[in-house]
């Protein structure tokens, strides 16, 4: 019997922020991943990288400020660093958990590049804030380099575009590992954003919404289910208000209606709903589960969360 394929998108809570937090958080996350593997799913994992890539970008910027003879580190390179940094902890935590259960399975992290469209509207309206707080003089220098900045409390910070994922460069390698029954970690942080230029790939000064990349990955692999782990138990209407209404289930048509009505915040829940809509499409088989990972590493197999279907 063919195994069901599942893509798990890990949010910030599943990874932590600092180095020690991440090391501990991945141990709990590994329990949830191991539960799906125990239930005989083919598992592919993707994850956020917000705090981690911000830390890396800040550290590299500070390094170049102190040692100006060194070249500044591009955003795409910082993204690549974050994939390796998170993948290292995550794959080792999952491997340890599996071996503790008597399950022998290779866990691999794939450094993943994701193609974006150079004419994506997002490049004309960058919104994602990254890096450290700068002085006005430093901000002016950034603008002279062609970068965008925005004023924040205490100074200025860089802003970059968040274009939609178009294609996954390493998709054949990911498929080969999944077909070999390995656990794969891919498209971390939404993937390393690149522009396709003839035979070359050029890193883009951008970030990709990890939920949209997760949906693209799940679609590319023809997965049966996409599980998005986040900081809330369920998707809610009127979130944070007195008449807040948690949803146990939702159809794609309802999701489109709620999204158009502005029910979901642009920076948090909206990308998750968009990913669900794109992944499910017209399929009567595919589904998306949005839920929270608790401190014991337990997730929805017990019925919590919001299930989205056709």
In whole angstroms, give the CA distance from residue 248 to residue 235.
8
Q: What is the pLDDT of residues 95-130, one digit of tens each?
A: 999 999 999 999 999 999 999 999 999 998 888 887
Q: What is the pLDDT of residues 239-264, one digit of tens each?
A: 888 888 999 999 999 999 999 999 99
**Strand 165-168 with 113-116, pairing:** antiparallel
258 DSSP assignment: H
DSSP 85-154: HHHHHHHHHHHHHHHHTT----EEE---EEEE-TT-GGGGS--EEEEEEE-HHHHHHHHHTT-EEEEETT
3-class DSSP state for residue 275?
Answer: helix
Taking residues 61-81, report their average pLDDT: 88
In whole angstroms, give the CA distance from residue 96 to residue 80.
24
Q: What is the pLDDT of residues 263-301, one digit of tens each?
A: 998 878 999 999 999 999 989 999 999 998 765 555 544
Q: Considering only CA atoms, which of 227, 252, 233 is closest in space to residue 308?
A: 252
Q: pTM of the prediction? A: 0.90
For residue 62, name the pLDDT band (cuts at 50, 70, 90): confident
**What pLDDT is recorded for position 298?**
55
Taking residues 88-92, report their average pLDDT: 96
């Amino acid at each position: 019997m063919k195994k069901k394929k599942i893509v798990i998108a890990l949010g910030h809570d599943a990874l932590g922020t600092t180095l020690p937090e991440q090391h501990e958080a991945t141990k709990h996350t590994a329990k949830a991943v191991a539960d799906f593997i125990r239930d005989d799913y083919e598992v592919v994992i993707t994850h956020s990288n917000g705090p981690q890539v911000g830390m890396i970008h800040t550290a590299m910027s500070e390094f170049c400020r102190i040692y100006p003879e060194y070249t500044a580190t591009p955003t795409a390179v910082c993204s690549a660093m974050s994939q390796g940094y998170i993948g290292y902890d995550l794959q080792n935590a999952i491997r340890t958990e599996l071996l503790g259960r008597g399950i022998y399975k290779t866990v691999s992290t794939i450094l993943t590049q994701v193609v974006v469209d150079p004419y994506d509207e997002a490049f004309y309206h960058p919104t994602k804030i990254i890096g450290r707080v700068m002085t006005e003089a430093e901000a002016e220098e950034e603008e002279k380099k062609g970068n965008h900045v925005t004023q924040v409390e205490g100074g200025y910070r860089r802003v970059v575009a968040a274009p939609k994922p178009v294609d996954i460069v390493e998709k054949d390698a990911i498929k080969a590992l999944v077909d070999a029954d390995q656990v794969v970690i891919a498209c971390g942080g939404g993937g390393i954003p690149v522009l396709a230029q003839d035979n070359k790939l050029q890193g883009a000064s951008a970030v990709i919404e990890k939920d949209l990349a997760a949906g693209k990955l799940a679609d590319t692999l023809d997965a049966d289910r996409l599980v998005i782990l986040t900081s809330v138990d369920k998707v809610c209407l009127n979130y944070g208000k007195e008449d807040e209404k948690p949803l146990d289930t939702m159809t794609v048509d309802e999701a489109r209606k709620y999204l158009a009505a502005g029910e979901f915040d642009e920076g948090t829940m909206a990308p998750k709903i968009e990913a669900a809509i794109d992944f499910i499409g017209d399929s009567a088989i595919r589904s998306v589960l949005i839920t929270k990972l608790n401190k014991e590493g337990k997730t929805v197999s017990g019925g919590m969360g919001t299930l989205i279907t056709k």
